[in-house]
Amino acid sequence: MVVGDFPIETDTLVIGAGPGGYVAAIRAAQLGQKVTIVEKGNLGGVCLNVGCIPSKALIAAGHRFEHAKHSEDMGIIAENVTVDFSKVQEFKNGVVNKLTGGVEGLLKGNKVDIVKGEAYFVDSETVRVMDENSAQTYKFKNAILATGSRPIEIPGFKFSERVINSTGALALKEVPKKLVVIGGGYIGTELGTAFANFGTEVTFVEAADEILAGFEKQMSSLVKRNLKKKGNVEIYTKAMAKGVEETANGVQVTFEVGGESKVIDADYVLVTVGRRPNTDELGLEQVGVKMTDRGLIEIDNQTRTSVSNIFAIGDIVTGPPLAHKASYEGKIAAEVIAGEPAEIDYLGIPAVVFSEPELASVGYTEAQAKEEGLAVKASKFPFAANGRALALNAAEGFLKLITRKEDGVVVGAQIAGPSASDMIAELGLAIEAGVTAEDIALTIHAHPTLGEITMEAAEVAIGSPIHIVK
């Protein structure tokens, strides 16, 4: 092993080059810091390589296939539509390669030093970075931890060629005939839906009362109903996965529901029951960084850990494991290190599921607002009353606006419908800027667009709806 003789000095050391780490590194460099970023895998982290981006490429391809087969209502009739899954994978990989290459270019363009290897803390100002052939010591003034998370492996379901996590599902070389999905959260629902659109028989096994339990029931119920309408999807809720046996050509999954034991044969079982923070191999005990029982790092409202010059962001701190949350926190950390008065405010962070229909939520739900003691009004407008939604043959869903009764300020919004993932941004801005429902209603929205639904919901909130009866 070749060992570096002298420490390399840097102002800010970022560990992890996912959407939290690389954004933090770039922002820190923009603010005049000398920055080094360490990554043991591929630049872009889970999100760009085996998460958000490739899954959306797979979802988009599944939608294309589904639409090609079922657009008779619009007069489009296609026969003998087939899937070349190797081409689907080529498309997905091409998207990933473009983005990961772009990240490298952005880091280099901002003069960030990129180091490959695993980092281990020696003390609160020093890490050792090791790869297969060498080791080097780095001295830093501040460090930002952005090491992300990995899929949880549950008892009785040890990952293998047939018992797969989200990474394995995205790398499949063929469309499975049958797939069991353990866990009906956003990852399981998205990937299960994608394969169902390709023709796979999908069985969901979810321990909670509903799939997508983090969303309001009236939203998740739309997704559940659409999945069942496909004809090749079965959903079991309040169900507990018990074990799996691998057979010559697949798996046999046992689960319990309603006091009854069930066994299902499938090609693969996809386990998506959550993610575990990557904090166990950094040597954090060497420097006294405080952590929770779950392995999450405790931080203050400026992303600072219990060690004043070490910051932590993304999946390794409290909150939903979302790429855009990690990026947001990364900017906060870089700015605090630079002496700026930045603080975390999670209210405007949206949650999105690329399901059918798409779901998106930002700020408070009606129930959450009331729990916080806020007097609020919920105003709803249906996609079915919007011309663009009807023209898209996608008129299912609604937008709900949550406003304070005292002044009409927007404090939350929930959307279930096509392009909900894009529409939610306007409402996130409304919350950040303290906009009122009247402000939105007075903003001219282009016609015919789905964006008009936001304006129409605001008109409901101020008591003057045009396109539904008051």
In sequence order, which residues have a C-beta less than 8 Å from that of residue 293 and are 6 or more positions away? Answer: none
Element (H, E) at 138: strand 134-145
**315 annotated as ligand-binding:** yes
In sequence order, which residues have a C-beta less than 8 Å from that of residue 342 and are 6 or more positions away? Answer: 302, 331, 332, 335, 336
**206 annotated as ligand-binding:** yes
**147 annotated as ligand-binding:** yes
**439 annotated as ligand-binding:** no
Nearest of 199, 196, 244 to residue 224 by alpha carbon: 196
The CA distance from 362 to 420, in Å, is 11
**187 annotated as ligand-binding:** yes
Q: Is 221 helix (H, G, I), strand (E, B) or coil?
A: helix
Instruction: Tell me the pairing of strands 251-257 and 260-266.
Output: antiparallel
What angle in degrees, to the nearest 10, is found between the helix axes of 186-197 and 52-69?
Answer: 40
**346 annotated as ligand-binding:** no
The CA distance from 326 to 298, in Å, is 15
**183 annotated as ligand-binding:** yes
Task: Name the residues annotated as catalytic.
Answer: 447
DSSP 118-132: EEEEEETTEEEEE-S
**173 annotated as ligand-binding:** no
**148 annotated as ligand-binding:** yes
**45 annotated as ligand-binding:** no
**231 annotated as ligand-binding:** no
Question: Residues forming the annotated binding site for NAD(+)?
Answer: 183-190, 206, 274
Question: Residues forming the annotated binding site?
Answer: 56, 147-149, 183-190, 206, 274, 315
Question: Residues forming the annotated binding site for FAD?
Answer: 56, 147-149, 315
